[in-house]
Chain A
Amino acid sequence: MRKIFFFIFYLFIFNNSALALVEVDITRGNLDPLPIAVSPFYIEPGSKDINQDGKVIKNIGEEISKVIEVNLKRSGLFNPLKKDSFVQNPDIAHVKPRFEDWRLIKAQALMTGKVTVSDEKLRIEFRLWDVVAAKEMVALAFSTNPSNWRRVAHMISDKIYQRLTGEEGYFDTRIIYVSETGEKTQRFKRLAIMDQDGANLKYLTLGNELVLTPRFSPKNQLVTYLSYFRNMPRVYLLDIETGKQEVVGDFPGMTFAPRFSPNGEKIIMSFAKDGNSDIYTMNLKTRVVEKITDHTSIDTSPSYSPDGKYICFNSDRSGLQQIYVMRSDGSNVKRITFGKGLYGTPVWSPRGDLIAFTRVHKGKFYIGVMRTDGSGERLLTENFYQEAPSWSPNGRVLVFYRETKSNADGSGFSAKLWSIDLTGYNERLIETETDGSDPSWSSLLSK
């Protein structure tokens, strides 16, 4: 009996060791940006120079690769390698690269491409290579008007970003903001729009009316903003593609931050009626206004979840300004922030997983993110004064504005646009011609 038992036991062990596969868990990795080589685009013989706004762009191949390089570097996820170290010339766009040459300079990915410019047509081809696996990852060609070359560079950046990170890019986008000039006490405010990298700046209003809180629609290239006409706030709709704008309606004196619903059919805002500020929606087709909250406290800054089922907003119903979440019909209101200080300007991430906010505590302003139930709060950046975060369409980067402390005589004041990613380490100034505030990020233009 004992022998049988040992025999079974032995069989059990033997069986197990026969099946055993050595497993090793890799739970850590390298968080350094991915080394990528962006080879200048090869210009096909016979191509013409591009003439844009009176300027002749001679080496368009290099210019395009520069835009791509800057985009990738600013994302914080890539490390574009210096071109001085490249062993192969740009003419490799015709052939498969010599991968061992690129492995030598520690590149893990390589982009090559070529440009053909004729009178009214620009054709750009690019290929992304996995240097380590020695295989092609993406190959695409773009055909457009020659003046549109920057946009193609952004689209290529998006394709590279998407292929190497697994999430959608955000480079072929624009940022609308309020451009500010003049003394601190008498600011001259205009609506301005630019590419996400600060290029192609265009002023949309003349500055004779005060403009506030421009917000992009998450679905299309529509913008809603607040402008004062005869000291009364008026909500406008601006179509970026046609330049047409229309009045949505006149609202009472204390109207704040109109924002689109996820399907773009409604706008949600807060305004004070009978001395009490509540949240309202307006259907853009029927122009029917619906009251969402009905409370004696001040409810402001509403923002929809991407599925349209929930709304986050800030309210002082608990005594201090905190963030709340409710169903889109106004029911089931739930407070989600309980930290010290004040919480405001909540904005739901396009991915739906996080809410960005501004927190004020002990005289400091913080931009942070938390889960939609209020847990996992992370403060990304701290400063003297900063607010109004707006998400990039992929939900990875936030753009906001930051003001500096002015001197006693009012000098030294500035307001600038900044971006920061979810890690909190990649904080960057967005260069603008003038001071800027209230930025809002568009969805992808190519969507």
Chain B
Amino acid sequence: MSKSIFLSLVFHSVMIVLTALSLPFMIKPPIDLPPILSVDLIQITDKTSIPFAAKAAKTLEEIKKKEEERIVSEQAPPTEKKKEKPDRIPLPEDLNKEKQEIIKKKQNPKEVEEQIRQASEFEKKEIFDPNKIAALIDKSKEDAAKTLKKNKKLTQSNVKNSFSNALTLSQEDALKAQIFGCWSLPLGLPYQENLLVRIKLKLKPDGTVLRSEILDHARMNQPGQSFYKVLAESALRAIRICQPLRVPPTGYEKWKDLQLNFDANEMLKG
């Protein structure tokens, strides 16, 4: 019995010695690394409300006052209305008046020449229709159609009305070119997502923005759509930088409500 205990002790101690001798090479000494120090993060947005600097507050008030004055003067624009008349706005009433005038002057041969000229201008407007067909073929419109398809949320207001002629192609191009220059595209956007932001604007006659509204606002709060907020903000920034927008001098009633569809997909997908 004592012999077996002795043998057991001997073999166990041999094993312990062997382990102690052989295992250390498996262990590497710990590396002296600088510790990663913790940083406490405190939300301060709600805790503090920074006042405006005295000067800034004054200037802001002045700007506000000026804006209010401007709005008031634009809301009572008898002179502006007068200005609109000679600009040949294609309103049905105006057209009728023009026709009446032409009929009155029919007897005068010199006036007939004018009538022919007027008629040809009228025809030009008729000829404008094929251009509108061309507008439908325009690549940008194809893209819009694609993005609208993606949205799968087609409403009546979303569908472009081919009968609407508020902006001619060149006017639309001028507006586009202006906004292209102002829109700093956020480059970190995930390009496989739907990157379309639709912004509805209420414009003043001089092209400044009275009100802007993001149409898919709810998307901002959806999980995994934080990029959408960034995209929408960049679009709003572009509008603010660009204003007053390059809108036609006439036809305010037709373009006072304007929708801008900012689509970053094409740019980022390359």
Contact = CB atoms under 8 A, between A and B. Distances in A.
Do the two chains belong together in a single complex? yes
Interface in A384-436: 394, 396, 423
Contacts of B184: 29-30, 32, 34-35, 108
Given A20-B163, A23-B261, A108 B31 contact: no
Nearest to A144: B39
B189 A165 contact: yes
Is the interface on chain B under 10, 10 to 19, 20 to 34, or 35 or more residues? 35 or more
B214 interface: no
Nearest to B160: A23
B55 interface: yes
B161 A17 contact: yes
Interface in A109-139: 125, 127, 130, 132-133, 136, 138-139
Interface stretch (B98-106, B107-115, B222-230): B222-230
A28 interface: yes
A151 B140 contact: no
A197 B254 CA distance: 54
Contacts of B182: 30
Interface in B174-198: 175-176, 179-190, 192
Contact of A95 (B28, B52, B200, B238): B52
Interface stretch (A240-248, A260-268, A330-338, A356-364): A240-248
B235 to A, nearest CB: 8
Contacts of B188: 77, 161, 165-167, 394, 396
B185 A29 contact: yes
A133 B27 CA distance: 59
A143 B189 contact: no
Contacts of B40: 142-144
A196 B32 CA distance: 20
Interface string B255-270: 1011111111011000
Contacts of B136: none
A30 to B, nearest CB: 5
B55 A98 contact: yes
A148 B266 contact: no
Most buried by B among A23, A236, A394: A23
B156 interface: yes
A140 B30 contact: no
B26 interface: yes
B44 A139 contact: yes
A95 B51 contact: yes
Contacts of A30: 180-185
B79 interface: no
A24 B257 CA distance: 11
Contact of A167 (B50, B190, B241): B190
A97 B40 CA distance: 26
A236 B261 CA distance: 54
Contact of B259 (A22, A35, A76, A396): A22
B237 A26 contact: no
Given A165-B230, A204-B31, A243-B32, A95 B50 contact: yes
B156 A77 contact: no
Nearest to B227: A166
Contacts of B33: 193, 202, 204, 240-243
A167 B187 CA distance: 10
Interface string B74-116: 0000000000000000000000000000000000000000000
Nearest to B258: A22
Interface in A22-46: 22-35
Interface of A: 13, 16-17, 19-35, 76-77, 92, 94-100, 108, 125, 127, 130, 132-133, 136, 138-145, 147-148, 151-152, 155, 161, 163-167, 193, 200, 202, 204-205, 221, 229, 236, 238, 240-247, 351, 353, 394, 396, 423, 445-446
9 contacts: A16-B164, A24-B172, A25-B141, A25-B144, A26-B235, A77-B188, A99-B56, A139-B48, A351-B190
Given A30-B184, A98-B59, 9 more contacts: A22-B257, A26-B263, A29-B185, A34-B186, A130-B237, A167-B189, A204-B33, A241-B36, A245-B28
For the complex of A and B, the 9 pairs showing the least CB-CB separation, nearest first, are: A165-B188, A166-B227, A166-B230, A29-B183, A20-B161, A20-B164, A29-B185, A141-B42, A243-B33
Interface of B: 25-28, 30-45, 48, 50-53, 55-56, 59, 140-141, 143-144, 156-157, 160-161, 163-164, 166-167, 172, 175-176, 179-190, 192, 200, 226-231, 233-238, 240-241, 254-255, 257-264, 266-267
